[in-house]
Amino acid sequence: MRKTLSISFGLRQVEKMPLDKMGYIYMWLRYGSKRIAFSTGIKASPRAFDQKTTVIAGNVEATAMLTALRHKAEAFSSDLKLTGRAIDLHLIKAAILETYIENVPNIIECIQLFNKNIINELYDSGELEKGSYDKLQVWNRHCQKWLIDKMGTSPRIDEIVPADANHFLFWLKKKHCLSHNVACRIVAHLKRIINYAVENEWILRNPFMNFRKRLERKKREYLTEAEIDLLASAKFASDALHLSCDLFLFQIYTGLGYRELLELTPGHISLVDGKPCILISRQKTKVLQVAPLVPEALALLSKYKDYSVCREYGVCFPVRTNQKYNQHLKQVALVLGIRKRLTTHIARHTAATHYLKAGVPLLSVSAMMAHSNVQMTLDHYAHIQPEMVVRDFAPLLNAVQQPTALKKAN
């Protein structure tokens, strides 16, 4: 298909503007799949400006200026073709406005700017945890590697096309053997970076705008009641293993994450309706976590309250570093013959699963988990609860079975 330069003028978001409100007229240049838009500096109202004829009613001088801009663009485009140079919309814009080419960053530089101005700012302000920050740095490296492999060391933002979203997704899965869900999240991350470019008016639209994360639902692993009993009755020669086992059990009883377990103090424990309860803000979601304390959890709190470390730092448990904690949990599973990888996440999944099985309403379990919405709890846990369905249908099932039982008795 032969490419031609298309030139048009218009007011931005004209459908939302009052008819008599003045706004800047933008000039739109299109060449193939590339496009660029910029303000002409000329103002007009929707009522006065005719977009098809490029005429501003009652303003002959401004109309003439728009015509002159069109002629400049066409003349410079013809000059590029006659001299065998590529049609560069940014060069045409500079020629029209008689300015130097503005410093539009390429996509690699855009990633670096997004990292500096957005990710680093969030991390420095404490809104982004160290683990999440490190993960985003890895994602940035994946994005840069793909872009360089596909388009060279200085890929322009406007060279990216919609089909590249799926190309990047398959590249991540094939080249780095990443799971579908992780690959989807990295592509969505690049989409956010390109949105940053749109916000800074380096490009007109996001070519990944139609990309949607379609994550695969995974079965969430949790411990059975027998495995929980095994942990509760276990005896270890090592005090470190015994402590880690107790901390893991406390997470199962309360649904606390590692960070909340680490920062838990007696001040977070209050009486709610006469019952002891943990009230702590979950750092990940910024939602208040409400965790009623069952007798087993109260016993563990009592067991460690007089430890010197707890008294010195005013905390409820002498929690080790996350790395040491995970190492000890791995040894606990090995000693007890549990074939599941014990982690903080499994402890939380186990808590939600067993409380739902016990008949605790979904809304209350969501509050205990400090999920940002109930739908998250429903998506993650409700689909693995066949016991809940049978229990809820029990009155109807009993009603159906009762006549049969009476008939046999007669």
pLDDT digit string (tens) for 13-50? 888 888 889 999 999 999 887 888 888 889 999 999 99
Q: Is 53 exposed, middle or buried (0-12, 13-18, 19+ CB in 10 A)?
A: exposed
Which pLDDT score, from 0 to 100, does residue 120 have?
94
- DSSP letter string, 68-127: HHHHHHHHHHHHHHHTT----HHHHHHHHHT-PPP----HHHHHHHHIIIIIHHHHHTTS
Which pLDDT score, from 0 to 100, does residue 70 have?
92
- Is residue 325 within 8 A of residue 319, CB to CB? The reply is yes
- Is residue 11 within 8 A of residue 25, CB to CB? The reply is yes
Q: Is 251 exposed, middle or buried (0-12, 13-18, 19+ CB in 10 A)?
A: buried
DSSP 8-state secondary structure symbol assigned to residue 34 = E
User: Beta strand pairing status for 49-50 and 55-56?
Assistant: antiparallel
Residue 243 contacts by C-beta under 8 Å, 6 or more apart in sequence?
Answer: 318, 320, 328
What length is written for the chain? 410
- Is residue 249 within 8 A of residue 223, CB to CB? The reply is no
- Is residue 44 within 8 A of residue 23, CB to CB? The reply is yes
Q: Could you list the pLDDT tens digit for every one of the 410 residues in the chain?
A: 457 889 999 998 888 888 889 999 999 999 887 888 888 889 999 999 998 899 999 999 999 999 999 999 999 888 888 877 778 888 888 888 876 555 678 899 999 999 999 999 999 988 888 888 999 999 999 999 999 998 888 788 878 889 999 999 999 999 999 999 999 999 999 999 999 998 887 887 899 999 988 877 777 788 989 999 999 999 998 899 999 999 999 999 999 999 899 999 999 999 998 999 999 988 877 889 999 999 999 999 999 988 998 999 999 999 888 889 999 999 999 999 999 989 988 999 999 888 888 888 888 888 888 887 877 777 777 555 666 677 777 777 766 555 544 444 44
Which pLDDT score, from 0 to 100, does residue 211 have?
92
Which pLDDT score, from 0 to 100, does residue 409 have?
46
Burial 279-304 (b: 16+ CB within 10 A, else e): ebebbeeebebbbbbeeebeebbeeb
DSSP 8-state secondary structure symbol assigned to residue 206 = -
Which pLDDT score, from 0 to 100, does residue 410 have?
45
Which pLDDT score, from 0 to 100, does residue 393 have?
77
- Residue at token pair 């808590």: 351
Which pLDDT score, from 0 to 100, does residue 37 have?
86
DSSP tally for the chain: helices H, then strands E: 17, 8
Which pLDDT score, from 0 to 100, does residue 100 have?
53
- Residue at token pair 């803000």: 281
**Token pair in block for residue 30:** 């299109």
pLDDT digits (tens, 9 = 90+) for 7-19: 999 998 888 888 8
Question: How many Å apart are CA 285 and CA 147, to the nearest integer?
Answer: 33
**Type of residue found at 290:** V
Which pLDDT score, from 0 to 100, does residue 403 have?
52
First to last CA, the chain: 87
What pairs with residue 287 in β-bridges?
282
Question: How many Å apart are CA 131 and CA 139, to the nearest integer?
Answer: 13
